[in-house]
Amino acid sequence: GAKRCIGIECSDIKEHAAVIAERNGYGEVITFVKGKVEEVELPVDQVDIIISEWMGYFLIYESMLDSVLFARDKWLRKDGWLFPDHARLYVGGIEDADYKEDKIGFWSHIWGFDFSPMQEMVIQEPISDFVDVSAIATSTCCVLDLDLQTCRREDLDFLAPYSLTMQRKDFVHAIVVWFDVSFRAHSPPVVLSTAPGQPATHWKQTVLYLDDPLVGHKGDKISGLLAVRKSLQNPRDLDVKVSVDFRRKVGQVSKV
């Protein structure tokens, strides 16, 4: 086992963690430091391994990756390990008529009143929910691949192209987004996936609804750009935009 462990925690749970470590015989091994990663001082100059469960919805929404990269640059020795050490973000197209009608369409008919202006607002908000793998009507595409040993904070704001191919004749109501993180330094490598069809996690998947559904046949192409950046109002929030260029047998549709 490790000769020494140092945990950084900003909340009062640090006190409870210290008691638990003591009661289980690790009081001399595990040290807890209270505060923000960017502000604390550690009792050592370098560490061999950094372990953090920093992921948020959409991988980087409300995530703590910025703090992990700060810790990496300040304390991790040159040949040290970071766990997880890689992260990837994926997109696919889904048929989701029933859920879209339930969550968005109902605003057009509430007890006889027209609330349709609300639709324009709520459709702009991503939805976190579980997506059945059978709903995916397209191929999938990786839009972000991060090597956490070398990536920079600037890499977390990105503009990435994507290209999807219809796998069957169907509607596409939304773009679904998920991620995986991997521990490639481990032998054998271990992957934690939040993809549809994988064991459920609290991260679920992120659904970005289109204003109007696409109607495609097998082999039709959906492509575009995914633009992601930290919100100027709150850096833990994200601003996300998706452009859609739909190439089908009977014509082309472009949307943002």
Residues belonging to the active site: 53, 62
10 Å Cβ neighbour count for 47? 19
Q: Please, which residues bridge with residue 207 across strands?
A: 127, 176
Contacts of 203 (CB under 8 A, 6+ apart): 55, 56, 57, 128, 178, 179, 194
